[in-house]
Structure 1
Amino acid sequence: MGQGMKVIDLSHAINERMPVFPGSEKPQLTTVATYEKDGYHETLIRMYSHVGTHIDPPAHVYEKGLTLDALPLTQFIGQALVIDCRHRKSEKPITMKEVNEAREDAETADFLLFNTGWDKFWGSEEYFGDYPCIDDDVLDFILLGNYKGIGFDVMGIDPISDLSLHRHKKLFKNKYIINIENLANLDQCGSGLFNFSCFPLKLENADGAPTRAVAWWE
């Protein structure tokens, strides 16, 4: 690894105070061994598969959809582009106007990551508010492309209130693609393409899993 390499962590830390999807339990990190008593330290971790910065595969919403562990490792690494949507008011959807501002790079990227700036609300009630979501035109553009994945710095690709999961279902219906939620620090990635990886925990038959998403430049 050369000295000229710059690396940015795009994941939130997992802890017992973090925001979780309404109806889920917060993670529990229980000390089961201590230095004083046992001579070492160990923690029992209890958490949902869609906690924090995590990945949805098709199996999240489709019974016969691919699970995360069935996807090749190449699905989780490639060139990414951040689409700047920070000027979007929450009641206004993200449209092709935002994508078209970086259209050339958007067409060659493996991952499109949508920066709404919402990660600044992480840890507050505002995080559960009406964050901007992509509209059907953007979703159609993604489905027509050859993307490995898309990502967001909000709680989901659908609004929290949309129990039908319209965008999840449309995205995964006929496509091998992943959806990354609760990303952080997308504002530090600049414009243009960069190296990106988001390897999830290797859980068997995973309908989702926490991931360490990372951006880097040589």
Structure 2
Amino acid sequence: MRLVDLSQPVEAGMQVFPGDPPVDTRLAASFPQDGFQVAELHLGTHSGTHVDAPLHTVDGGSPVDAIDLSRLVGPARIVHVPGLGEHDVIRWEHVRAQLEDVRAGTIVLFRTGWSRHFGTPRYLAHPVLHEEIAGHLLAAGVRVLGVDTLNPDRTPDASSTGPLELPVHAAVLGSGGAIIENLTNLHAVTWRDPLLSALPLRLRGLDGSPVRAVAMQL
């Protein structure tokens, strides 16, 4: 079996969505004092590579521990969308040819290459998916999509005002689906339609969880 890790390392001070809790790690027990080591971890539910449950943007939506795990392990389709600039919008016409034969239950991952900017201010100015893509995927029976960006929707900056608009989240999570964010290393998946595993922690009643996303070639 060939494995490719698609997850960002979780470490203190890593980049998070603006306003989310910072990631911090520290020793709670050490060998000199205690004879063993235990680390204390502080982070938000959407730190690093993670999955959004419906509860993230849907009032009363299902929490992450209620997601059917079979949706997060299965065949994936990587959609290559190169050459994008800051805030560019990916429309259905740009990806239609790569998705016309997609089957229900497939996990669709968008490879923009933007993960190379992770940890820099430019990462916040990522390309976004037009909500029409979510509509086409949902109509085809796709319930999970992933991106190698911070967000499939636009991430606000200092000039943003008013309520946060999340049309892709509204469509996918509103239908009971899930979204995987902050993927990386998609370029290393060199075979078609890999098997993907992106399992969350069983965090009872919460809105999301970090995942260890792995692409597999059986």
Measured on the aligned residues, the alpha-carbon RMSD in Å equals 1.6
Shift of 1:33: 0.8
Identity of aligned residues (%): 29
**Matched residues in 2 for 1:98 and 1:80: separation?**
19
Deviation at 1:108, TM superposition (A): 5.5
Q: Aligned in 2, Cα 1:178/1:171: closer, same or farther, shift over 3 Å? A: same
Instruction: Give how far 1:28 is off.
Output: 1.2
Does structure 2 retain, via aligned residues, the 8 Å contact 1:35–1:41?
yes
Q: Matched residues in 2 for 1:91 and 1:75: separation? A: 29
Which residues of 2 match residues 14-163 of structure 1 at below 5 A?
Answer: 14-107=10-103, 110-129=106-125, 131-161=126-156, 163=164
1:193 equivalenced with 2:193 (yes/no): yes
Q: How far apart in 2 are the matches of 1:121 and 1:81? A: 23
Aligned pair in 2 of structure 1 residues 41, 105: CA closer, same or farther (>3 Å)? farther
- SS across alignment from 1:128: helix
- Runs ≥4 in structure 1, deviation > 4 angstroms? none
Distance 1:145 1:8, change over 3 A: same
Shift of 1:104: 4.5
Extract unaligned runs of 5+ from structure 2. Answer: 157-162
The answer for unaligned runs of 5 or more in structure 1 is none
Q: 1:135 to 1:181 in 2, by over 3 A?
A: same
The range that moved more, 92-101 or 38-47, is 92-101
Match of 2:177 in 1: 177
- How far the C-alpha of 1:62 sits from its partner, in A, is 1.3
Q: Normalised by the size of structure 2, how large is the TM-score?
A: 0.91
Partner Cα distance (1:152, 1:69) in 2: 21
